[in-house]
Structure 1
Amino acid sequence: MNYFNLFQIPQKFNIDKNKLINNFYELQKKYHPDNCDKNHLNENKKILISIQINKGFNILKNKFTRANHLLEINKKKYKIKEKYIFNKKKTLIEKFQLYEEIQKIKNQSNSFTKINIFIKNIKIKLNLYFLEFNKKIKEKKINSADQVYGHICFIYKILKKAQNLKNTLTNE
C-alpha cells in the first residue's frame, strides 16, 4: 500500500508533518470502528482500515521508515529488483573504525564528554546522508538512493551503539 496516497500527501521524503497528522485524524474519524457507524462497512473491514491508517501513520512520521517506504514504492514503480550491495572492504573499514572509536572512548577518563561529541558527529553524518537520500529520490536515482539508505542504516546502528554506551556511562 502507498501510504502517501492514503494520507493524500506528496510522495517525497520531506513531508508536511502537520498535514500528515491532520489527515490521520480525519481518516480515523471516518474509518475508526468506534466512529464510523454511518458507513456500510462491516466490523472487520473497519478494523482492517483503521489498522492500515495506524500503520501508515507510524511509517510516515518516522524518517527512517518513511525513507524505506519511499524506496519500496519507487523500486516497484521503476521495476528495480536488485538490492544495493555495499563496497564490502570500504564499509568494513569504516565500520571497524567507528566501533574502534567507541571502544577507545569507553576506556577514557572523560568518556562521557567524548561519547556526546561522537554522538553529535554521528547525527550530523546521518543528517547529511538523509539530505543525500532526499536528493537522489528527487532525481529519481533509485539505485543511488538505495545505496545511501544502506549507509543510513549502518550509521544508525553506530548511533544506537554509542547511545547505549552513553546510557551505560550515565548509570555508572
Structure 2
Amino acid sequence: MNYFQIFSLPAQFNIDKTQLSSTYRELQKQYHPDKSVMLSDSERLTAMQKSTEINDAYQTLKNSCLRAQYLLLLAGVDIALEQRTLQDTGFLMQQMQWREQIESFTEDDEDAIESFSENIQQQVNDLESEIELQLHEKAFEATADSVRKLKFMLKLQTEIEQLEEKLFD
C-alpha cells in the first residue's frame, strides 16, 4: 500500500493537509504501540511496523519536497539518494548570490533579512506550483530538476532561520 492510500488521499502533489493530519491522528490512536501491550509478540511487532509505516508516510506527505520525491518514485524516478548536480547555471549563480547575501547580513539588517526571507518563501511557493504542474503533465525529468531546486531553497530557509537565531536571540 502506498503512502497516499494509507491516508485515503489521491496520489497528487496538492493534498488536503487537514485530512492528512486528522487521518494521521486517527491511525496513530488505532496502531500506536502502546495499544498493543497486551497482544502477542507477533501482533505487537505487526502493530509497531504499521505505526512506523504510518509515521514514515505522514512525514513524507506533509513535506512538499519529500512528497514530490515520493510521487517521482511512484512514477519510476528515484532521486532520493542521487549525487547528480543541477545543470541550470543560472540557478547555480543565483545560489552563490544568495549565499553571499546571507553571509553579509549583520544584526543591523533585520528588515533586509526579513525581506530576503519573504523573497525566498515566494521562490519556494513558485517552485511548488511548478512541481505540481510538471507532475500533472508527467514531465518527470523537469520535476526532478525542480525538486533539486526546492531542496536547495528549503535548506536556504533553514540557514536564514539559523542566522536570525544567531543574530537576534
Distance 1:158 1:31, change over 3 A: closer
2:61 paired with 1:57: no
Distance 1:32 1:102, change over 3 A: closer
Aligned-CA RMSD value: 2.5
Give the drift of 1:50: 1.2
2:104 paired with 1:70: no
Give the drift of 1:56: 1.0
Question: Who is 1:163 aligned against?
Answer: 161
Count of matched residue positions in the alignment of Structure 1 and Structure 2: 164
Question: Who is 2:20 aligned against?
Answer: 20
Give the drift of 1:103: 2.5
Question: Who is 1:45 aligned against?
Answer: 46
Which amino acid is 1:16 matched to? Answer: D
Instruction: Normalising by structure 1, report the TM-score.
Output: 0.81
CA distance in 1, matches of 2:45, 2:90: 50
CA contact (8 A) 2:86 2:145 kept: yes
Query: Greater shift after overlay, 15-24 or 113-122?
Result: 15-24
- Kindly provide the CA deviation profile for residues 118-158 of structure 1, in whole angstroms up to 9, marking residues without a partner as x: 11111111110111011111111111111101111112222
2:125 paired with 1:127: yes
Instruction: Normalising by structure 2, report the TM-score.
Output: 0.83
CA distance in 2, matches of 1:55, 1:145: 22
5+ residue gaps, structure 2: none
Distance 1:13 1:81, change over 3 A: closer
